[in-house]
Structure 1
């Protein structure tokens, strides 16, 4: 989400006059007629105009402030969640998806594919199968679809 106050070089406490003054100064500096052919100035001018149109209307400004505050809180929560331990994350994932055990995923993967996904170690017990291809998933599909072997 764009920070309209930052685009105009202002703080959230800026008055309507401050917003208007900042907009006029930046618009004059980045106007397409002044910077003919500059795509960067045109992009900046559009951002400045968008910011001004939102912040100059009290109702739009209030709605924007609420959305931006919620966005910042969500961003802060995501940052705190990513800094948690892996064990905490796996427990959180297990709680968020009832009936699915994410902690047992490695052993299930190893049983089907013959090696552990995190370490890459090959399990010799799974490789002693009579099958030539360790990645053969025929048994898995037959069990899943409850097909009888011929």
Structure 2
């Protein structure tokens, strides 16, 4: 089996991706009142973006990659009740499974939620509203390592 290539996404690339997301949001008539970042990968970009656009930030505990069979969606439920517009952000929209899971967890009549990813795999089953950078994993399956995933030595 051939070794998978790795790509180390930098803090500077994260800043650039967040600037792109912010510009995309500003081009719409929709603006978030609250940011929910998907634990763990969405936390760092979520906090950065919440400071950049001056809106509150909370963490949504959904970690499907780690077989978390009991995701805590209470934060999402409370946010839907208390906020008009909610932005859910993650580091990558890879397969789309996490965003799909979140979307299926609330009533389809809720229309005030938008999705953002630093990196959006355009061959994903889920389509985000805002992206920092796009990739196509059907053409290049390079594994992306974010700064917060690097081992500390």
TM-score normalised by the chain length of structure 1: 0.23
Q: Considering only CA atoms, is the larger Rg found in Structure 1 or Structure 2? A: 1
TM-score normalised by the chain length of structure 2: 0.23
Structure having the larger proportion of residues in strand: 2
If asked which structure has higher relative contact order (CA below 8 Å, sep 6+), I would say 2
